[in-house]
Every structure is written in C-alpha cells, then in structure tokens.
Amino acid sequence: MDFLEIEGGHKLFGEITISGAKNAALPVISATLLCNGTTQLKNLPHVVDIRTLLKLLQMLGANVEYSNESATIDCSSIKSTKAVYEIVSQMRASILVLGPLLTRFGECEVSLPGGCAIGQRPIDLHLKALEAMGAKIEIKGGYVRAEAPKGGLRGAKIVFDKITVGGTENTLMAASMANGVTEIINAAREPEIVQLCQMLQSGGVEIEGVGTSRIKVHGSGGKPLCFENPIEIIPDRIEAGTYLCAAAITKSDITLKSVNIEHIQSTIDKLEDMGCHFQISDNSISIHSPEELKEVNIVTAEYPGFPTDMQAQFMAVATLARDESLIEERLFENRFMHVSELNRLGADIWLKGNTAAIRPVKKLYGADVMATDLRASSALVLAALAAEGTTKIRRIYHLDRGYDNLEGKLSSLGAVITRGKE
C-alpha cells in the first residue's frame, strides 16, 4: 500500500494548473450512455475514480479510448445493463449510471452502493424520482432492479425534500430521454449540475432553469441523444480550494491557473476572513497569505454556500489561527474523521455533535497518521505541510481517487513530499 511522507515547514511558491473536476466528469461520463454513438470528453482529471467509471462502462460493452486528459466513449455497443457490485462498491458515484441505463434501455440492475466513511448516504431520493417517472423498482440481492413502463419513462413533477447532487443528476439524465416534461423542484445548483445540463442541451434536450433550483426538462421521447461537440470538463473547484488552503497554512503566495473564480467564491470569502489577499485575473488567482491567520466560522451548505468538500481542509488551516474557530457540518453525519488524526499532529480540536471547535495551537508536529476519506486525507496533507518534522500518511488511495498528481503539483511548488510503498 502506498504512503506519503511530507517534510513540513517549507514555504510554497510558483504556479500550478488546476485539473478538470472529478465530480463534474463522473456524471458527464455516465451521460455518454444516453448516446447511441461516440462522445468525446476533454480535460478529464487523472484520478482513480474516473478510471473506475470508465471501466464500468467498458464492462457494460462501451468502447472506451482514454489517453492524456481525453476520452472517446462509444456507447452504441452496450450489451449489458447490469452494474456489478465489484465496481459499484469501489465508488459510490457508479450509481449515476442508473438513470441513463434505465431511460435508454428500459431496464437495468445496479448494485446498491452502501454506506461510506462520511455517512450513510442513502439513494432513496434517486429511487423516488425514478418511481415518480413510472419506474418499477425492487431491491433484491443487494441490487436495485429498475424497469421503465412500456413506452419508456414519463415526465413527472419531482420535489426533492432534501437537496441532492447525485439525485438531481440521475433525475436529469433519466428525464432527458423520457416522454414529456419533468420538473425538478429543490434541485441542486452545483456547477457540476450546470455542466451536466449544458451537455444534455448540446445533445438536443430542451432544459429550462439551468443553474436554478427549479429545472424543467423536455424529454426526447425515447430518442437517444447525440453529442457532436467534445465536452470539456470544468475546472475542479475543490482541488483549487485545497491548494489555496495549502498556501494559507504554509503562509505562502502561489498562483493557480485554469480556475473558475465564481465557483470558488465561498472559499475565497472564508480565506479573506482569515486575512488572505487575492489577485484575480480571468481564470487565474494568486493568494497572498498573512503571517498570522485569523479565526474563521463556517457552516457547510449546498452550492453556492460553503462546500462540505472544503470543510476538512479549512479545519486544518484553522488549527494554526490566532483564536478559536467553529465549523459546523450540515450535510453529512460523520464527516469529522480527520479530527482525531489532526489531533495526532498536535491540533486541539473538540467535537460536539456536528460542530467542531478548533482551538489554536502554536505549532503542529509531524507524526504517523491514517487517511480515512478523500477530503479528510487532503486535510492531513495540508497539516503535514505546515508541521514541524516529518509526517507519514498511510492509506493514500483515498487521495488518488480525487486529486490529480497531488505530489507532483505540491513538489513543483516547493513542498518536500515523496510517495513510498510498504
């Protein structure tokens, strides 16, 4: 198993380019199943989750060519509509093939994804939406078995009682080939949803309310979509935010290229509260970090609020602020696995329910720690960059799922970081 060793205490400098967004690429790859032909994708990040989903599509019969940041996916040759446990258990986002498979082929079986480190993460809202569109759904043997009515899914009015990114994505894809109009109320508004809507629009689907919480999809009535132009994945807002936090915690000045500033506004705002300054031009951003960071108060929320995917990284930064910070996690019930590991590095974090109080410490000290989930792992990397001495982070396969060339990018900024095997 791979581990990372980080010698802390080095300032960062220079510039790096942000990769395509994993969480935008996953629904986009799933949506290629709606096309009875070839779709070209660009700016895919080099991360394990992308390779896992491409492998799933290949297992279903798609022809996939993947090199550098591009992929060509031909879904005219799909032979199977069963997404098996072996793949779905590796990555929850595989559930995103449910909507497109069902709407295009009229039936499918997808393994239940199960819980994960950050919480229970049910898919009840995905299933309710598909049922509202006429699907018959049965859970048997660990699989969701879904069948569309004769003639295909029917447009419906779907009201999500909780905002769900994946649920909105599955519904959008299912609705794109349904008969009639589907209205999604209380839809997620994340940039990744907007990208998916724009892709569906480019495939010939009429969609109203893109980027709002009320989206209307005029289904194609069973006609497969056709994506003639390449789909370019948007920049990863969480990767960008993570590197801005890396600069803040090491009191450094760095520049990020290929960033969508609007997508990272809430992260910029919180770093400004902590005393950081920014210079912004088009799609690049430079951060200037203060010698002493101010405390910060954060409550996670759906976009455009403060992202839960940046909560762990800010917690790491807040450990070295001048006063106590408070972070409340509102989206997931168990997304504080990094707390005990950060405390191993010398942090003083106290948890009560879904709120963490981060009491400031003068220094963090290198230690052996364990990565527990993707963003928790990146928080450990940030803390290690600022700690005195060397930190060894085990189980970094979590990081490889979502950060493109993490140690290469950090090394190019002057960090002392190496990967080893044990």
Report how many residues bind ligand EPZ under the rule CB under 6 A.
23
User: Catalytic residue at 226?
Assistant: no
Minimum distance from CB of 135 to ligand EPZ (Å)? 15
Number of residues that make up the chain: 422
Which is nearer to ligand EPZ, 119 or 290 (by Cβ)? 119
Q: Among 65, 86, 124, 292, which residue interacts with ligand EPZ (rule: CB under 6 A)?
A: 124
Report if residue 170 touches ligand EPZ, rule: CB under 6 A. Answer: no
Number of residue whose CB is nearest ligand EPZ: 166
Q: Which of 109, 230, 284, 99 is nearest to 176 (CA)?
A: 99
- Of 91-120, binders to ligand EPZ (CB under 6 A) are 93, 119-120
Under a CB-based contact definition with an 8 Å cutoff, are residues 54 and 94 in contact?
A: no
CB under 8 Å to 150, separation ≥6 — which residues?
none
Q: Among 123, 274, 318, 358, which residue interacts with ligand EPZ (rule: CB under 6 A)?
A: 123
202-218 b/e (C-beta count within 10 Å ≥ 16 → b): ebebebebbeeeebbbb
Q: Among 276, 331, 356, 380, which residue interacts with ligand EPZ (rule: CB under 6 A)?
A: 331
Which is nearer to ligand EPZ, 124 or 269 (by Cβ)? 124
Q: Among 306, 314, 332, 403, which residue interacts with ligand EPZ (rule: CB under 6 A)?
A: 332
Q: Among 81, 164, 220, 319, which residue interacts with ligand EPZ (rule: CB under 6 A)?
A: 164
User: Between 48-60 and 22-31, two packed helices, what is the crossing angle to 10 degrees?
Assistant: 10
Write down the catalytic residue from 35, 75, 116, 276: 116
Minimum distance from CB of 199 to ligand EPZ (Å)? 15
Q: Among 46, 51, 82, 121, which residue interacts with ligand EPZ (rule: CB under 6 A)?
A: 121
- Of 24-63, binders to ligand EPZ (CB under 6 A) are 26
CA distance 261 to 282: 8
For 393, other C-beta atoms within 10 Å of its C-beta total 24
Which of the ranges 62-70, 160-168, 287-295, 380-388 carries the binding residues for ligand EPZ, by CB under 6 A? 160-168
Which is nearer to ligand EPZ, 275 or 306 (by Cβ)? 306
Which is nearer to ligand EPZ, 8 or 191 (by Cβ)? 191
Return residues touching ligand EPZ (CB under 6 A): 23, 26, 93, 119-126, 162, 164-167, 308-309, 331-332, 374-375, 402
